[in-house]
Structure 1
Amino acid sequence: MDTRLTPREREQLYSLIREKLEPGGAELDDTTMVGELPGVDSVKLLSLVGAVELGFRVNLGFEAIPQVRTVHDIEQLICDSRERYTARAS
């Protein structure tokens, strides 16, 4: 299974990050340290994880929160969740 988001999905992820974490003018890329964006706290991270679950129709769970360090980590969590679902479905 493909472990990368499509360009459209990646833009959706970046949009959710901008909406939930309000990083101001901070640039976002795969290596952006999410927890170091201005004003980010645990409540905002929880809100982001919930929005990602709804937006991408995946189940990340609360255990995903400490795993979120970079934007790439979030992408990987989405892909891992999809792989687990595919494995269970087959």
Structure 2
Amino acid sequence: MNTRLTRHERERLYSLIREKLDLGGAECPEEIKNTTMVRELPGVDSMTLLRLLGAVELGFQVNLGFEAIPQVQTVQDIERLICESREQDAARPS
């Protein structure tokens, strides 16, 4: 199972997280990395996380579903969910 995004896709994911969580300013001085704890980012609550995952679904054209919410601890978890969704889609008969 390929649980990694390309470098370009990962950068796009980090950019999407910064945009949707409005992390462009000084309130989030650290860089977004795969080990970043999503729920510890400034302003993240359950609704913000839901909106973020919806944006990830649209941006990466995947279906994460509501069951993804409790699985997200780190940014790497979001990356894994994207890859798993892609694999499930690829395994479905055409």
Q: TM-score, normalised by structure 1?
A: 0.92
Partner of 1:21: 21
Partner of 1:44: 48
Gaps of 5+ in 1: none
Of Structure 1 and Structure 2, the greater helix share is in 1
| 1:2 shift after superposition | 2.9
Aligned-pair Cα RMSD in Å: 1.3
| 1:31 shift after superposition | 0.7
Q: TM-score, normalised by structure 2?
A: 0.88
| 1:39 shift after superposition | 1.3
| 1:28 shift after superposition | 1.1
Matched, 1:65 2:72: no
Gaps of 5+ in 2: none
